[in-house]
């Protein structure tokens, strides 16, 4: 069972940090820069290809990719916070269970994804008058699926961090980007070389981005894409959590105090 008070404590532990200026800037600054840079580029490209919706495809891809990245970041970087603060022992010397920590960071992840999404959608609309809600309600299941994909990457990165320590901290930032080229965020899977396409179809993110482009081309909601993505996500999430538990137990065997 999960003790909700303890999970709420975990949520607050990182939420209080989030209220600091640098954390807010971190949440909004990079998406804003991406939207400005890529938005201007694609709007300019669209002037040479009238009638295409390249700007909407790229900007929706950008906002959606932020969800994957944010899902990963909230798990792996919040774990790293405990390393940076020499607080890992303090935290797990309490009655807190690992599953309660996981529940707390996942709650925070949902909250931050929501803020990042709202910011991205409003910012794109204000700058380029493009409405990401063109996707309709399909928007919501896609967001949920991408967030879960981000969690999967986050748990894998967190497993490496809890097992090996801070020397693997770059994974917290980099790991999501390793999947970006194969996820066909801005281009169709067919644009990838044949060998890369095999990898792409193993990723739950690919089905979402393909589905997103399909809707933007005017097709109905691609239920099959959503279903496959959901199935893959559930399998990968279960696996990644199992790996995280295993790495955490192995790390306890060596002693969490070795990181302090």
What is the closest distance, in whole angstroms, from the C-beta atom of residue 136 to another protein in the complex?
40
- 91 near another protein, rule: CB under 8 A: yes
- 83 near another protein, rule: CB under 8 A: no
Q: Which residues lie below 8 Å from residue 181, measured CB to CB, with a gap of 6+?
A: 192, 196
* Residue among 32, 38, 54, 92 that touches another protein (CB under 8 A): 92
Binding mask 62-81 for another protein (x = CB under 8 A): -------------------x
Backbone dihedral region for residue 101 (phi beyond 0: left; psi -120 to 50: alpha; all else: beta):
alpha
What is the closest distance, in whole angstroms, from the C-beta atom of residue 25 to another protein in the complex?
14
What is the closest distance, in whole angstroms, from the C-beta atom of residue 14 to another protein in the complex?
9
Quote the CA–CA distance of 130 and 102 in Å, as a whole number. 36
Stretch that binds another protein, among 87-95, 148-156, 194-202, 220-228 (CB under 8 A): 87-95
- 8 near another protein, rule: CB under 8 A: yes
What is the closest distance, in whole angstroms, from the C-beta atom of residue 96 to another protein in the complex?
5
What is the closest distance, in whole angstroms, from the C-beta atom of residue 90 to another protein in the complex?
5
Binding site for another protein (CB under 8 A): 3, 5-6, 8-10, 12-13, 16-17, 20, 81, 84-97, 249, 252-257, 260
């Amino acid at each position: 069972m999960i003790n909700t008070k303890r999970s709420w404590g975990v949520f607050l532990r990182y939420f209080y940090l989030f209220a600091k200026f640098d954390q807010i800037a971190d949440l909004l600054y990079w998406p804003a820069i991406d939207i400005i840079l890529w938005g201007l580029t694609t709007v300019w490209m669209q002037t040479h290809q009238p009638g295409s919706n390249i700007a909407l495809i790229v900007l929706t891809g950008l906002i959606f990719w932020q969800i994957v990245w944010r899902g990963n970041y909230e798990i792996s970087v919040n774990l790293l916070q405990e390393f940076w603060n020499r607080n890992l022992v303090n935290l797990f010397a309490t009655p807190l269970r690992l599953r309660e920590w996981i529940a707390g960071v996942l709650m925070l992840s949902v909250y931050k994804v929501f803020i990042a999404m709202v910011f991205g959608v409003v910012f794109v609309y204000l700058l380029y008058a493009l409405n990401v809600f063109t996707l309709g309600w399909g928007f919501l299941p896609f967001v949920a699926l991408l967030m879960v994909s981000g969690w999967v990457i986050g748990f894998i990165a967190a497993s490496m961090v809890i097992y090996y320590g801070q020397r693997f901290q770059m994974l917290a930032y980099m790991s999501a980007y390793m999947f970006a080229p194969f996820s066909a965020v801005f281009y169709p899977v067919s644009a990838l070389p044949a060998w890369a396409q095999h990898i792409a179809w193993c990723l739950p993110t690919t089905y979402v981005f393909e589905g997103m482009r399909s809707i933007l081309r005017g097709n109905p909601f691609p239920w099959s894409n959503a279903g496959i993505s959901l199935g893959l996500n559930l399998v990968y999430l279960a696996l990644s959590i199992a790996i995280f538990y295993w790495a955490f137990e192995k790390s306890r065997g060596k002693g969490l105090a070795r990181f302090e």
